[in-house]
């Protein structure tokens, strides 16, 4: 069964919602990496959240969510583009010891230095245009709370999230109160009441239930008494956009001296993509080419083309 993202609206209530389930995508991500269970849970929840949040964005590009941790987890990265193509990875400290019952705070914010960063990177940037970046401290004891706080602070949007993940599936529910638009029939009081009602219904959802129940069943079970408009489902999927050019670019950023000393020692640089596991190797000729040509494309593609 394909992965599913289901958008819906509470009719005449100014509340929108989404349910997502990521199974194939999540399995693909986990197949390249082996994480302790608590890391899987956090990364899976972040994956579901990225899918939910980016589905609401009206922009053509990639949303990148990063948690820079100061504990056993150094970095969590989840990316979702406007076509709901996702990838994710985690970096643990070399000496990381992770207990099965470790909390989010213990894993990423144990010295109060953890940060949560959301970047919106448009596909077709105009000259001089920067990616939008929002940075917030990691206040909250769950991925859902951290993102709810972020949305309130940076977007002034009332957002509620319910997230769950295990080694099989990542699922999530998002509810969002839409800004009041002038001219609509419903009063502010009506809309507040509708929002509160939606949140109460969402809050009946237990983590276990979210893990074990498909999106369509959840939809009916939670909101069967409501008048809801349901949109066509979207199908998120795994996609990694790594290329030899980008790996070459990264090597160029390390600098010629660094690369030369590594190649002198190793004879060949072997690099695996953190997201998809794809292997890239650069021999002495490849590396020399990186720094003798002005343009990246010449430097990276040309030697490859000659060899094959
Ligand atoms: Zn890759």
Taking ligand 1, which is a single-atom ion, which protein residues have CB atoms under 5 Å away? 240, 242, 273, 275-276, 278
Q: What is the pLDDT of residues 253-275, one digit of tens each?
A: 999 999 999 999 999 999 999 99
**What's the average model confidence in pLDDT over 185-210?**
90
Is the per-residue pLDDT at 2 higher than 90?
Answer: no
How many DSSP H helices and E strands does the chain contain? 11, 13
Burial label for 123, CB within 10 Å (0-12, 13-18, 19+), is exposed
H-only helix segments in the chain: 24-31, 37-55, 104-108, 143-150, 188-203, 207-212, 215-223, 244-254, 256-266, 284-292, 296-307
Contacts of 182 (CB under 8 A, 6+ apart): none
CA of 277 to the centre of ligand 1 (A): 6
Is the per-residue pLDDT at 183 higher than 80?
Answer: no
Name the region of 96 (left: φ>0; alpha: ψ -120 to 50; beta: rest). beta
Name the least confident of 181-185, 217-221, 243-247: 181-185
CA of 88 to the centre of ligand 1 (A): 10
Q: What is the pLDDT of residues 60-73, one digit of tens each?
A: 999 999 999 999 99
- Nearest to 46, CA basis, from 170, 205, 202: 170
Backbone angles phi and psi of 201, in degrees to 5? -65, -45
pLDDT band at residue 126 under the 50/70/90 scheme: confident
Give DSSP secondary structure letters for 123-143. SSPPTTPPPEEEEEE--SSSH
Are 172 and 52 within 8 A, CB to CB?
A: yes
Q: What is the pLDDT of residues 67-105, one digit of tens each?
A: 999 999 999 999 999 999 999 999 999 988 999 999 999
CA of 31 to the centre of ligand 1 (A): 13
Are 218 and 205 within 8 A, CB to CB?
A: yes
More confident call, 187 vs 305: 187
């Amino acid at each position: 069964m394909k992965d599913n993202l289901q958008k819906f609206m509470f009719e005449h209530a100014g509340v929108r919602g989404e349910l997502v389930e990521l199974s194939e995508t999540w399995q693909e991500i986990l197949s390249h990496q082996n994480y302790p269970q608590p890391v899987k849970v956090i990364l899976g929840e972040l994956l579901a959240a990225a899918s939910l949040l980016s589905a609401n964005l009206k922009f053509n590009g990639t949303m990148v969510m990063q948690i820079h941790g100061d504990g056993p987890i150094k970095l969590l990265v989840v990316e979702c583009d406007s076509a709901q193509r996702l990838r994710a990875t985690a970096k643990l400290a070399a000496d990381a010891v992770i207990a099965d019952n470790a909390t989010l705070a213990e894993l990423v914010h144990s010295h109060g230095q953890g940060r949560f960063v959301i970047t919106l990177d448009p596909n077709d940037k105009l000259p001089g245009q920067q990616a939008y970046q929002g940075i917030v401290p990691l206040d909250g004891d769950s991925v859902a709370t951290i993102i709810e706080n972020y949305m309130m602070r940076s977007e002034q949007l009332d957002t509620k999230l319910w997230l769950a993940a295990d080694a099989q599936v990542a699922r999530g529910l998002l509810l969002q109160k839409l800004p009041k638009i002038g001219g609509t029939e419903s009063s502010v009081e009506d809309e507040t009441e509708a929002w509160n009602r939606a949140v109460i219904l969402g809050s009946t959802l237990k983590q276990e239930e979210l893990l074990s129940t498909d999106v369509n069943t959840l939809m009916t079970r939670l909101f069967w008494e409501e008048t809801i408009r349901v949109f066509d489902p979207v199908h998120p999927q795994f996609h990694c956009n790594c290329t030899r050019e980008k790996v070459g670019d990264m090597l160029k950023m390390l600098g010629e001296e660094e690369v030369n000393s590594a190649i002198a020692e190793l004879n060949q640089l072997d690099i695996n993509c953190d997201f998809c596991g794809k292997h890239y190797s650069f021999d002495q000729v490849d590396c020399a080419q990186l720094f003798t040509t002005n343009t990246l494309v010449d430097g990276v593609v040309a030697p490859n083309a000659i060899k094959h």
